[in-house]
């Protein structure tokens, strides 16, 4: 690269940092919950990129919380252990043997991989699940589905303690039952419940799509809650986007300031959303 081109790149970088100042100030002290899944968890390179962004967020005064899934890893381990699954209306039944594998994979392999990635980038991350400190107490969602839970009581004090010590919580979506059971919780639902309990400024749902698409097929950059309901009723929002927008609406009803559905495959997606005028994905607010 020519020296002139290098100088031009450094000037552009400095300009970008300068333009980000109002947004850096805006989010100082803010709580941002990030649901991590899909592409960002696939490769070591993508994981390192995500971890670097999270560490930068903490460095400039944001309090990030990472909530992760791990469905493909759970499926792979069940296959490896030759544990057969039953399905009810297309949903896996989480029996006693399955929930042991779910906890082993989510709280073990997946959680610690994310923690190590953040620590490797100079951050200070701690891994936990919704069972720790009774963060997420659950009720059984449906007896036919076994140990699948719905958050019914949230106790986020442990997260505030971690914020006070400049620590980034990385949370596996498992909950404790009132009688000592372990419940598997949908990752998006867990992230939404945690964000609501914290009254988070932002909930970022990282997906493998660019955002919520309107009738024209283009991504809608800003939506109100009623628009989400109307688009769902008309069939424009369909398939896998429905549970994500439902999570967004529930989180907003619970006190989250705004929810963003964005493409986790895009480089620096979280930073683009928080610290640039353009943002990324679809931002959903209350009416």
Residues making up the annotated binding site for substrate are: 70-71, 92, 184
Residues making up the annotated binding site are: 70-71, 92, 184
Inter-residue contact 245 to 203 (CB < 8 Å): no
The rounded distance, in Å, linking the Cα atoms of 249 and 226 is 9
Degrees, nearest 5: CA angle 201-121-75: 75
The rounded distance, in Å, linking the Cα atoms of 190 and 172 is 9
Long-range pairs of 16-20 with CB within 8 A, sequence gap ≥ 24: 19/276, 19/277, 20/275, 20/276
| 76, two tokens | 């792979």
Residues in the chain: 287
The rounded distance, in Å, linking the Cα atoms of 27 and 274 is 8
Greatest extent of the chain over all pairs of C-alpha atoms, in Å: 67
């Amino acid at each position: 690269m020519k020296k002139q081109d290098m100088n031009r790149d450094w000037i552009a970088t400095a300009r970008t940092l300068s333009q980000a100042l109002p947004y850096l100030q805006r989010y100082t002290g803010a709580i941002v919950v990030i649901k991590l899944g899909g592409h960002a968890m696939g490769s070591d390179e993508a994981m390192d990129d995500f971890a670097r962004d999270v560490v930068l967020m903490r460095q400039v005064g944001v309090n990030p919380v990472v909530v992760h899934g791990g469905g493909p890893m759970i499926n792979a381990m069940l296959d490896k252990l030759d544990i057969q699954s039953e399905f009810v209306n297309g949903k896996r039944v989480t029996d006693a043997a399955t929930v042991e594998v779910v906890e082993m994979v989510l709280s073990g392999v997946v959680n610690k991989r994310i923690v190590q990635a953040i620590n490797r980038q100079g951050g200070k991350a701690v891994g936990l699940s919704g069972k720790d400190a009774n963060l997420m107490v659950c009720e059984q969602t449906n007896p036919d589905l076994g140990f699948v839970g719905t958050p019914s009581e949230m106790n986020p004090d442990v997260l505030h303690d971690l914020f006070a010590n400049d620590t980034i919580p990385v949370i596996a979506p498992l909950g404790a039952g009132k009688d000592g059971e372990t419940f598997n919780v949908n990752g998006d639902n867990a992230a939404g419940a945690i964000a609501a309990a914290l009254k988070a400024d932002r909930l970022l749902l990282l997906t493998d799509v660019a955002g919520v698409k309107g009738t024209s097929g283009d991504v809608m950059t800003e939506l109100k809650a009623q628009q989400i309901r109307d688009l769902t009723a008309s069939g424009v929002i369909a398939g896998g986007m429905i549970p994500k927008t439902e999570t967004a609406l529930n989180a907003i009803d619970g006190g989250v300031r705004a929810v963003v559905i964005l493409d986790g495959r895009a480089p620096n997606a979280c930073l683009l959303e928080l610290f640039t005028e353009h943002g990324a994905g679809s931002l959903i607010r209350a009416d």
